[in-house]
Amino acid sequence: MNLEKLTRQVCSLVVETGKFIEQEVRRVKAADIQVKSLHNYVTYVDKASEERLVDQLSRFLPGSGFIAEENPVHQRGEFTWVIDPLDGTTNFIHGVPVYSISIGLLHGEEVILGVVYEINRKECYYTWKSASSYLNRHIIQVSETSKVEDSLLATGFPYYDYGRLEDYLHLFRHLMQHSHGIRRLGSAAADLAYVACGRFDGFYEYGLSPWDVCAGALIVTNAGGRVSDFQGDKKWLFGKEMIATNGLIFAKFISLFENWSHPSF
């Protein structure tokens, strides 16, 4: 398998799908918005985007499986595509210009390809196994910030799992006071892409799904960063939580999560 060629095919696909999403943003009406669960929305645009992606990816790699956000039936294979057809749907339906397409490819349990397309900025982030990470054909690297206190961080707010909210707010308060600031874009895929290119120095969130992070995690890693779950382990893909940093702040940052139920600050 030529992973570089496959990655570039996926890049072309997400750019074309992004054009479709862009043209629909002003056409979506309140009646088009469906509620999947608490604060979790979907539109015909999400579904149509996913159908386009699945159709073409099946042609790129016949026989592959799919883990896709809008399809409740996940079919694994030797190779499995992990797809978020519109990451940041809430932003999309409100006209907030931060939403993206995220596509990762698993070989068994290993992520071997990742593409994130931030639609409004027309920024395509991509990588494949043992390659550099790229933004629109230019190699990217994580930042060189060495202290959490000097870092600009990103997070996401929980929208259905409030069981850990007190711990989250405790940590959020600490980082507000001991960093350059915290941003919430509303698209975890975009957050990870921004860590990979050095705009953010670190990212953390819980309540995540594999399609939120599969592609972005590999892009961060191949740009020189580090990803883990809150315990520093490799259970981030299906573990519903993630830390991603430039690497230099990783040890200090992960230490803040060592006693998640009783934060160490």
CATH 3.30.540.10 positions along the chain are 3-140
Q: pLDDT digit string (tens) for 121-133?
A: 999 999 999 999 9
CATH 3.40.190.80 positions along the chain are 148-255
Q: Does domain 148-255 have CATH number 3.40.190.80?
A: yes
pLDDT at position 102 is 98
Tally of residues, the chain:
265
pLDDT at position 38 is 46
Distance CA 69, CA 52 (A): 14
Q: Which two tokens stand for residue 131?
A: 């390659």
**What CATH fold (topology level) applies to the domain 3-140?**
Fructose-1,6-Bisphosphatase; Chain A, domain 1 (3.30.540)
pLDDT at position 158 is 76
Please, which pLDDT band fits residue 39 given cuts at 50, 70 and 90?
Answer: very low
pLDDT at position 35 is 58
Q: How far is CA 93 from CA 87, 158, 202, in A?
A: 12, 19, 27
Q: Which two tokens stand for residue 64?
A: 């592959």
Please, which pLDDT band fits residue 23 given cuts at 50, 70 and 90?
Answer: confident
DSSP string, 120-152: TTTEEEEEETTS-EEETTEEE-------GGG-E
Q: Which of 24-28, 115-119, 120-124, 180-184 has the lowest mean pLDDT?
A: 24-28
Global pTM exceeds 0.75: yes
Task: Decide if pLDDT at 170 tops 50.
Answer: yes
